[in-house]
Each structure stands twice: as C-alpha cells, then as structure tokens.
Amino acid sequence: MDMQATIESATTAVNPTKVAIMDAAEKAILKNGYKAMSFRDLAAEVGIKSASVHYHFPTKANLVTAVMQRYKEEFAKRLILPKKKKSAAQKALNKFIDGFKETVVDQDNLSLCTVLSAEKNLLEPATIEELNEFYQLKLDWLGTVVSYMRKDWMTTEEVHNYASRILASLHGASVLVKATGNPDMFNQATVHWRDLIKHLDS
Amino acid sequence: MDMQATIESATTAVNPTKVAIMDAAEKAILKNGYKAMSFRDLAAEVGIKSASVHYHFPTKANLVTAVMQRYKEEFAKRLILPKKKKSAAQKALNKFIDGFKETVVDQDNLSLCTVLSAEKNLLEPATIEELNEFYQLKLDWLGTVVSYMRKDWMTTEEVHNYASRILASLHGASVLVKATGNPDMFNQATVHWRDLIKHLDS
DNA sequence: AGTTATGTATCAACTGATAGGTAAACAATA
DNA sequence: TATTGTTTACCTATCAGTTGATACATAACT
C-alpha cells in the first residue's frame, strides 16, 4: 500500500523524482494556479510520463497537499525565534520582510498561499488545513517578535493586530505588484514598517 | 461581424442575457478562479446553452475582459471624490473600507482583481490592461482623499505610499480572512486605519 | 428579407486517473 | 553463490469526462 505522502515527508529519506515533481508542481501553481497545473506538464518538466507522476502522488489533491506541507515545513525551518531582545527582534523582522520580498515579489509571484487561497474552494480539507497551519505559524512568530520589540506590556489583542497588520501589508503589497506590474509598489506599501520597526519600542 | 464587447459596454443599451452571463461569470471566477470557469456552467446558470454564451462572448478572454471592465466601471461610478475638506475625506475613506469589507470579505471572497492576479499569466493583454486601470483608479482616488485629510502639504511620494499602504492592507487582510477562515482577521489587520484616519491631519 | 438570439450536434484537445506490462534493484533462501 | 521472489519505479495504452470553440439549423422579431 501507499504511504501517505502528506505524513512521511518530514521523516522519510528524500526521493529525487518525488522532489522534482514537487518542485515542478510548486512552480506551476505559482505560475498559473492550481487548476491550470496538469500532470502531463509536470511529467514533461521532470522528464517522465504522467502515469509515473501518479505513482508518486496518486491524486492531484495529494500532490498539492504535499507541496503545501513542504512549503510550510521549509518555511518553519528558516523561521527561528530571535532572542528576547529589542535589537534582535528588529533585525529578525526586517529579515522577514526582506525574505518575503526576495522569494515572492522579486520573482513576480504571489505567495503559494495567496494563489491557493484564490482557489480555496477547489481544495480538499487536508490542503486547507496546511494553509491554515502555515498562516498560524507566521502570525504566531510575528506576534512574538513584535512583543519582543516593545519594552512595555502589550495586550494579546494588540499583539495579534500587529501580526495581522504586517502579514496583510506584505501579502497585499505583493498583489499590488503583480496586478500593476510595478515592482516599486512593494516598497511604497511597506517602507513605513522599516521606520516603525525602529520606533515600535515606545 | 461582432462588436467588441470590451468597448460597447459603457454606451450600449443593456442586454439582459449578456448581463446574466457576466453576472454568472463574475460569480464563478470569484468562487473557483478564472481557469475553472466554464462556458457550460455559465450557460446552465443562465438557462441557455453554451453555444449561446459564445454568441454573446466569442471567446473566454473576451468574456473575462468584459467582466473586468464592468467591474472597473461600476466601481468608478460609486467612487465619487469627496469635497476638499478634512471631515468629508475622512468619511469617504471610512466608507471605502466599509465597502471593501462588505462586498469582498463578508462574502468570503477575494476581490476579482486578486483572483485574476493569481492567474495573470493566463490572461490576455486586454484583460491585464483592465486590471491595471482598476488599480490605478483606486490608487489615484486614495491618494487624493488622503491628501485632503492633511492640512499640511505632502510630497507625491508620501501620497503614493499612503495610497499603496491602504490598498495593500485591505487586499492582504482579505487574503488572511480567506486563508485562515477567520473573519475577525480583517478587523485585526485594518482597525488601526480607523484611528489613523482620525489623526492623519497632524 | 435580414437581423438577433437561441438551439443541436460535433470537434479536437486536454484532463485526472487506471490497468497492466517491464526491467532493474534488492531480499531471501536453497 | 546461484536462484528465486518481491518491491520499486518507470512505461504504454487507454478511458471517460470536460473544455473552448465552430458549423449549421431554426424561430422570432424588425
């Protein structure tokens, strides 16, 4: 029987073909969306036949879930919590914004989550669950980092609001860039955070 | 020969079937994305056959362009410029945010532009042009309104940044709501504007 | 008579998925 | 060691369903 691709990925040894398929799938989704991604196109990119893709990922739902799960895990791996110190938190948050810009905006993409959110009704519960976990991960991290930046105590509501604001800014800015085709739009929509990060401790 | 559906819509008398098709198309795109929208489904919703949909809109590209154009025009119609007065501008901006929440977030949708942006590579230049114009419309309006709210002079850069920030906030917040399934997320990510609108004149 | 708005019928292309074959790698055992 | 069985990873071939689009017939209104 098949193992659940959605469960094994973190522990099992990597399979080169499987990884190549997931790479191609992620790329395809970012380019044209989930619905437009086809097994045959992925197979062609990897250099195998579409039936072989089904061997590794029985269904499309299975594949997109695996891709989303990997996306989440890779992100979590790079998302280390800074020291509970103002300057470290400031640095970490600046780096978070830089990372978003480099991996998403600079490549004229939206984030995988934004794309999948737009096609959420086509996804299965398992995929949606990965989506939720990914955002919760980001929001929790942002909340913690923001709280580290302030010497005074913040209510949980205040912390949540800051985290949501920052994440919304970044995602929205990437949509603006994509829609208008103007890369400057990202900085226009987010530079204020750079200043605010410096003065958020007050 | 066929008239260009992309040109006539503003001036020509409304055609009930055509309108019904566009309504169905807009709904379908918001629900599942552009790629997943099919002529047969639209036809079924309107109560005609798919060939008849092609009679009104020769190609899918033609249809989506018409839908996007109407979306833009309808939006422009409701987007009246307030008086050059602080209180009027404040009121207008609050209403803009309310409108976005009601028409997008409260219906568990993303905006049509966000969805189409995610599938931008599948669109034809004419459709993308509509997308651009729509955002320019919003950004220009926001910039003007923001400048009305400040008694001191703002650089054009400052104005642009404010407009981009606000628009990014709203769009990003709608993505957060959709992705997490948590409607509160919109207020979390945007309440600060309500306060800021009151004190933006300083 | 011509235009408008539908319908029927059909096409070629593409889709996700399955059945079943094949060869190589690996494992177990005589 | 040699042989056999099993698993892994591909393949070919094919299916049924969906897609955008077209050709052509039809009826109603102008």
pLDDT at B25: 98
Instruction: Taking residues A93-114, report their average pLDDT.
Output: 97
Nearest-CA distance B195 → chain A (Å): 13
Q: Grade residue B151 by pLDDT with cuts at 50, 70 and 90.
A: confident
Q: Are B172 and A150 in contact (CB under 8 A)?
A: no
Q: Are A171 and A114 in contact (CB under 8 A)?
A: yes
- State the average pLDDT for chain A: 92
pLDDT at B201: 67
DSSP secondary structure of B67-136 = HHHHHHHHHHHH-PPPPSSHHHHHHHHHHHHHHHHHHTGGGT---HHHHHHHTGGGS-HHHHHHHHHHHH
Closest to A111 (Cα-Cα) out of A41, A192, A167: A167
Residue A4 has pLDDT above 50, yes or no: no
List the nucleotides on chain D closer than 7 A to a protein CB. 9-13, 18-24
Amino acid (one-letter) located at B119? E
Say how many CA atoms lie within 13 Å of B148 toward its Cβ.
19
Residue B10 has pLDDT above 70, yes or no: no
Residue A127 has pLDDT above 80, yes or no: yes
Taking only the tens place, the pLDDT of each residue in B164-197 is 999 999 999 999 999 999 999 999 999 999 998 8
Kindly list the structural domains of chain B, giving each domain's residue range(s) and its CATH number in brackets, ordered by start.
5-67 (1.10.10.60), 79-199 (no CATH)
pLDDT at B202: 56
Q: Please answer yes or no on whether B173 and A168 come within 8 Å at the CB atom.
A: yes
Instruction: Taking residues A39-45, report their average pLDDT.
Output: 98
pLDDT at B12: 53
Q: Grade residue A1 by pLDDT with cuts at 50, 70 and 90.
A: very low
The percentage of residues in chain A with a pLDDT greater than 90, rounded to a whole number, is 85
List the nucleotides on chain C closer than 7 A to a protein CB. 5-9, 14-20
Residue B4 has pLDDT above 80, yes or no: no
Query: Strand D: which of residues 24-43 in chain A lie with Cβ below 7 A?
Result: 43
All residues of chain B having their beta carbon less than 8 Å from the beta carbon of residue A32 are: 35, 119, 121-122
Taking only the tens place, the pLDDT of each residue in B61-118 is 999 999 999 999 999 999 999 998 989 999 999 999 999 999 999 999 999 999 999 9
Round to whole Å and give the CA distance between B128 and B137: 14
Q: Grade residue A121 by pLDDT with cuts at 50, 70 and 90.
A: very high
pLDDT at B8: 42
Q: Grade residue B6 by pLDDT with cuts at 50, 70 and 90.
A: very low
Lowest mean pLDDT among A17-31, A53-67, A140-154, B115-129: A140-154
Round to whole Å and give the CA distance between A86 and A94: 12
Helices and strands (H and E) in chain A: how many: 10, 0
Taking only the tens place, the pLDDT of each residue in A44-76 is 999 999 999 999 999 999 999 999 999 999 999
Taking only the tens place, the pLDDT of each residue in B39-50 is 999 999 999 999
Instruction: Taking residues A17-21, report their average pLDDT.
Output: 98
